[in-house]
Every structure is written in C-alpha cells, then in structure tokens.
Structure 1
Amino acid sequence: MSEAALAARLARHAHLAIAVSGGVDSMTLAAFAHRLRTDGAGGSLEMIHAVSPAVPPAATERVRVRASLEGWALTVTGTGEFSDPRYRDNPVDRCYFCKTNLYDRIRAITPAAIASGANLDDLGDYRPGLLAASEHEVVHPYVEAGMDKSAVRALARRLGLGEVAELPAQPCLASRVETGIAIDPDDLVFIDLVETRLAALAPAGAVLRCRVTHGGIAIEIGEGIGNEDALAALAGSLCRDHGRRLAGVGPYRRGAMFVHG
C-alpha cells in the first residue's frame, strides 16, 4: 500500500531532482524512483549530492558507489553554507540556513521539482530545515505516501539495498555541535574521526554520537550496544591525542545539542 502510494506521488513529477544525503531515507527514495523510471514510468530523474565539511566522507562515497551500481544521473556539488555567517554562528535554527543554501544550490543546477527524503517521523522533531524546504517548494514523497522510518527501512530491504537499510539515523556532523559554538570544519573532522573509530567497536547500526559541547567532548552511546568500557577508553585516547577534553560518556539523547534561551 505504501509503495503504491509512493509510486503515485513520484509519478506526479515529470522532472524530479532528489537531494541524496547518503542516509537510508534519501538513498532508498533515489533507488525506488530510479527503478520506477527504468521500468517505464517516464520523465527525467536526477540525483543531487552536496558535499560539505558537515557531510561524512563515508556518506559521499556511499552515494557515489550506489549511483555507479544503479546508473543514476548524479551531480555532486558544494552546499556553500560555510560562506553564510548565519550558519557558522550555529543558532538554534542553524538547519534552516543550511537547507536554504542547499536548496538554492540545487535550484541553480536544475529547474526540476526537488524531492527530499523526509518521512512522517521527521514531522515530530524540531526541524527548521522543513521551513526552508517549504519556501523552496520541496516535495516530501514519503510524507505524502504516509511512510515512516520503519516503512522506509522495509522498502530498502525489499529493494536489496543491503547495509543501507540498516544505517542508523545520521544527521549532519554539525548537529553534534552545541548551539552557540561556532561551526568549525576542524571540529567536524574530529567528530567524524571519533564516530568512525567508535563504530568499529560497536554492532552494525549502533547509534553513537561525538558531541562538541561548552564543557568539552561528550560521547553518547545508544541502548544495548555493550562494550561501553572499551568505547569510553577509545574516546578518551582520541581526545588526548587531539588535545581535546573528554567531558563524559553517557546514553544517547536525541536533540541534545539544542540549547534554548
């Protein structure tokens, strides 16, 4: 039912550009839409991936590999958000400025309708980026089709997307920086390093966060991962090696970097 609804929503757009971040939502949407067009649904389809210090290199590589495997028409571009001081200042609505720059860049590349991978679960979060999407008339096919994250994962498995289907939620690296701390590319490189190294000691799909806070580096670990002592020891070692202060290791908290007021 959901897949039929999703196909119907995608078919409304003769010319579609999908913003592909490298996460499960946008990757699955791109794969599903591409296979629909290949099967004769018609119309043009392009995938746009934006590179930035806030995008993990592994995500970019994932998009490039999948595009090659499936034959996507892929354009890789920069987002330009680091030239925007409103983004770099990292206010609570930083995501609005990030997405504004992203959609401005995509619109400069193509006149096609822009689609995002937002799903129903995203509507319950604080997502200033959705305002930027609305201002740019971005469409959200999953939302229109009534699909939540679990439905997206089920679709990814049916499409045979392998590890993509099990990817943990991975908002951009800047989301790990506490509100009011300026976004610094060096911090983002460190965050990616720590999370990549910690992930090697954790089960596939584990939720791990390296947070840059006003009190130092905070590590958050999802439920049921185990191996917490080894993860904490590695985090401490990485912080020492890079001249950072480890503020502590604790449970994962969604939205922990937003400091209001």
Structure 2
Amino acid sequence: MEIQEKIKQIENTLKDKRVIIAFSGGSDSTLVAKIASKVSEDAIAVTVDTGTLPWDVIKKAKDVASKIGIQHEIVKENFLKHEKFKENSYSRCFFCKDRMYTLIESISKDKRFDIIVDGTNITDILEDRPGIIANYKRRVKSPLLEAKMTEDDVIEYLQRENIKYSKNTTCLATRIKGPITTKKLNRISYAENLIKECAGLELVRVRDFNKTAIIQVENTSKILDMNLLEYIEAKLKTAGFKRVYVDIGGYHRKRGKLIDSQNGGGAILELPYPIDLEKTCANFDEYTLDDILTVKIDSSIVKISEDGKIIFNNGKDVEDILLEVLPSIRRLEKLD
C-alpha cells in the first residue's frame, strides 16, 4: 500500500469526528494531529506534562501545534507523587500511559469528544512498550497502526509535506534504573543538554544506572574527542555522577528480530514481549488456536506463539505479511 493510500485511510478514521489527540509534538502524534485538523469536525491536541519530560518538550509541543493550526491544551500533573510511578518497576510505562489517558478522558467527557487517538505506528509493535496495554484498557484508537504506517512512512510524509515536529519527546524516567527521584531527573536533564550544546547533537540519551552515566548519541564520532570527553566527564561528575561511560554503539532501540530461515523457506520474528493468543485471534478471519495460533494471510500460513515468536512460511513477501499481522497482535497483559 502506498503512503497516500494509508493517509487516506487515516483521514477516513478521523473524518467528521470530534477527536482528542494524545500529543507530544513528536513525529507520530504530529502527523495524526495534522490530519485531524483538516478532516475532523473538531480536534484538540492534549499534552500531559508529567514533570518528567525533557525541559523543552512542552515549549516545542506548543510550537508544533501552533504551526499545524490545531487547538492545544496542556494538562499538568507531577507523576512523582504516584508511588507506582516512582518505584520504576516494569509496570511504570503502563501506569504512566494509563494515568495520562485518565486525564485526557476527563477533557473528552467534559467537551463531548467522540474518540481519543494516539500516534502508535506499526513499527512500535516491534518494541517492548507495556504502555500499549493502556490503549486496550481505555479503548484509545491508533490510526497510524490501523493504516499500517511504519516509522519510515511517517518521517517520509512529514518531510515531503514540510511539516515540522520535535525529535526529542521521550520521558526522562526511561533513562533511570531503580527508583525515580527529582535529583536523578535533574542530573539527566543537565547532562543531555550539556552534550547537545557541546557536540551540536539533537538526539542524546544519558542513562543513570546507580550514578553511572551511560551516554548514547545518534552519531558517536561527534563526541570522540579526548578534550571534549574529559570536559563532559568533569561536568557530569560535578552534577553527581560517579562514573561516565560512552556507548560506542550509539543510541538504538531494542526491537524484535527478524531471522531468515536457513533453508530459504520463510522467516521467524522474535518480539520482545509475550502475546495474548486469544485476543489476537479475534482480529483474524481465518485461524486455528491450540497451543499456538495459526492464521492464513492470502496464500501464506503464519504461526504465532505466546512467547512472542511469529513464524512465516514461504508464501508471499515476509515484509508484506508483517504489515498484515502486526496491527492485530495483542500483547499479554502481564505487568510484573
């Protein structure tokens, strides 16, 4: 399916409806907001300021919403007042999303909006994102996912249409190992801003593992200068880090691995989370469910197991089958 066909499908999902967009100003929510601003009966972009975002996220979200021409509302709540968030267990991501949607739902009910939508795209399904379980619980729609928009599709369309978006919207809590504190958030924010300014980089992550700073950047070569590294180390130690390391592999996301079969007959995709087979099978027309879920996509047979493995036979192109299968996957609601 061509990108323009996917955009048309998104337009049909949002057309003539009163829509609230969970809005960060990042590429995905920006695209959804842009389309909603053109085709929806009414649309509002809502950004939840959790108190754990990079310092410039809210300002950039305002700027992006203004350029799109969509009404923008900011809801503030300090998530550090919630113990389930502060303890930073595996369920933190779910709790964060669930609380955000609770706050957005209150606006939706007050102003009588039809649907809440987010910017989840099909590439996101390859990652371990427990927060998506909140989408199921709150019945939040994901137009990009339903239209099979990939991350590359989104960026290509935004660039082609010259639509500006923010490249750094992820919560600082994702960088922390162990309990989340204001002190940790502040030193991470300081460290990332310092490195951005010194190296002229947009995408910087500084992970805080028990006062050990792990630096990940989009282009590692830009910080591989001994004078610069010594300066960064000194500044980060002054901020409270005891050790400073650079991840020479750079910033990367942990995604499911697609492994080609040795005999050339198909492939295996290993997702980094368990799959709820019963809820997944409800999204397919032709299937059998025993210990594994077997579905038919045109002439191809796909086998899905609870441990996250998706096995493709030697039918049509695996990438095409993936685009058909991934929007229907429902992860197991296991948060411990």
Normalised by the shorter chain, which TM-score bucket?
0.7 to 0.9
Task: Tell me the SS of whatever aligns to 1:75.
Answer: strand
Match of 1:254 in 2: 253
Q: Distance in 2 between matches of 1:75 and 1:219?
A: 33
Match of 2:183 in 1: 186
Match of 2:279 in 1: none
Ranked by relative contact order (alpha carbons within 8 Å, sequence separation 6 or more), the top structure is 1
Q: Distance in 1 between matches of 2:181 and 2:229?
A: 24
Q: Distance in 1 between matches of 2:126 and 2:87?
A: 25
Between Structure 1 and Structure 2, how many residues are aligned?
A: 247
Classify 1:187/1:143 alpha carbon distance in 2 versus 1 (closer, same or farther; 3 Å): same
Q: Does 1:8 align with 2:8?
A: no
Check conservation: 2:192, 2:204, Cα contact below 8 A: yes
Listed one character per residue, the Cα deviations across residues 177-232 of structure 1 (whole Å, up to 9, x for unaligned) are 12xx1111221122122212212344554x42100103622212335543323653
Listed one character per residue, the Cα deviations across residues 48-74 of structure 1 (whole Å, up to 9, x for unaligned) are 011122111211111112233333211
Check conservation: 1:10, 1:33, Cα contact below 8 A: yes
Match of 1:50 in 2: 48
Listed one character per residue, the Cα deviations across residues 120-168 of structure 1 (whole Å, up to 9, x for unaligned) are 1110111110001110101101001110111111121133224x27x26
Q: Runs of 5+ in structure 1 lacking a partner?
A: 256-260
Q: Does 1:222 align with 2:218?
A: yes
Cα RMSD over matched residues?
A: 2.6
Task: Tell me the SS of whatever aligns to 1:138.
Answer: coil
Name which one, 1 or 2, has greater alpha-carbon Rg.
2
Q: Report which of the two has the higher share of strand.
A: 2
Q: Report which of the two has the higher share of helix.
A: 1
Give the Å deviation of 1:93.
2.1
**Deviates most, 213-222 or 99-108:** 213-222
| Identity score, percent | 23
Q: Runs of 5+ in structure 2 lacking a partner?
A: 255-335
Q: TM-score, normalised by structure 1?
A: 0.85
Task: Tell me the SS of whatever aligns to 2:10.
Answer: helix
Give the Å deviation of 1:172.
1.2
Task: Tell me the SS of whatever aligns to 1:57.
Answer: coil
Give the Å deviation of 1:102.
0.4
Q: Distance in 2 between matches of 1:123 and 1:186?
A: 32
Q: Distance in 2 between matches of 1:100 and 1:42?
A: 25
Q: Distance in 2 between matches of 1:231 and 1:156?
A: 34
Match of 1:30 in 2: 33
Give the Å deviation of 1:8.
1.6
Check conservation: 2:20, 2:43, Cα contact below 8 A: yes
Residue 59 of structure 1 aligns with an amino acid whose one-letter code is V
Classify 1:241/1:204 alpha carbon distance in 2 versus 1 (closer, same or farther; 3 Å): closer
Check conservation: 1:119, 1:143, Cα contact below 8 A: yes
